[in-house]
Amino acid sequence: IHVDVTKFGNIPDGGGWRYTGKQQGDRNRQATRDRTGLRTKNYEPRLGTCFVHTVIDDYSRVAYAEIHDDEKAVTAVAVLHRAVAWFAERGVTVERVLSDNGSAYKSFLWRDTCDELGIKMKKTRPYRPQTNGKVERLHRTLADGWAYKKLYTSEDVRRGALSGWLHQYNH
């Protein structure tokens, strides 16, 4: 399997600027800031980031993804456990995992978990994303087909749409 994390900016209540335009998008950001109270030191809205942990099978290209609020090693390991179980339900035995050199994948926790699961770790060359091209292409497809495909009126709506999109992608 290939694993990686991609990041998308959270969507403000009412929709983002890609569909509502710059002026309305700024108003939506301000309204979300006023509702949540999250702002930078310059009082700019702080909407946060959506981290999508993606796993794709090297042979069949079947994809698994989860959305989290961070990309820490603990989160990546939890995603790996659930992904291995998910693939096992579909008859796929995970023997190797290919990842980039992100901090989560260089951690001792990641190494120990792979050993525990009997998975051989492989790393890409630094600054060479082409090596992990299958998951990188999945990220582009995710962006075009799910994250920015249509108007989402909030981040919760977009996050809820991921499972349906993944089902359509896999079938």
DSSP 6-29: EEEEPPPTT--HHHH-HHHHHHHH
Provide the pLDDT confidence category of residue 41 given band limits of 50, 70 and 90: confident
C-alpha–C-alpha distance, residues 131 and 105, integer Å = 15
Report domain extents, the chain. 2-127
**HSE on the CB side for 148, CA within 13 Å?**
10
Taking the chain, what is the end-to-end CA distance rounded to the nearest angstrom?
Answer: 18
* Residue carrying the six token digits 């991921």: 162
Q: How far is CA 124 from CA 4, 48, 99, in A?
A: 11, 28, 6
User: Which pair of structure tokens corresponds to residue 128?
Assistant: 């060479």
Stated pTM of the model: 0.91
Residue 148 has pLDDT above 80, yes or no: yes
What is the predicted pLDDT for the residue at 31? 87
* Residue range 100-111: mean pLDDT, rounded: 96
Closest to 134 measured CA to CA, from 50, 55, 51, 52: 55
Closest CA to 153 of 33, 29, 11: 11
- pLDDT value at position 46? 78
Tokens encoding 156: 């919760």
The pLDDT assigned to 19 comes to 85
Beta bridge partners of 121: 97
Q: What is the reported pLDDT for 62?
A: 97
> Which residue type occupies 3?
V
Percentage of the chain exceeding pLDDT 70: 100
Which fold does the domain 2-127 belong to in CATH?
A: Nucleotidyltransferase; domain 5 (3.30.420)
Q: How many CA atoms lie within 13 A of 80 on its CB side?
A: 31
Confidence of residue 74 (pLDDT cuts 50, 70, 90): very high
Rg (CA), the chain: 18
Q: Which of 89, 37, 38 is closest to 62 using CA atoms?
A: 89
Confidence of residue 32 (pLDDT cuts 50, 70, 90): confident
CB half-sphere exposure, 19, CA atoms < 13 A: 15
The rounded mean pLDDT for the chain is 93
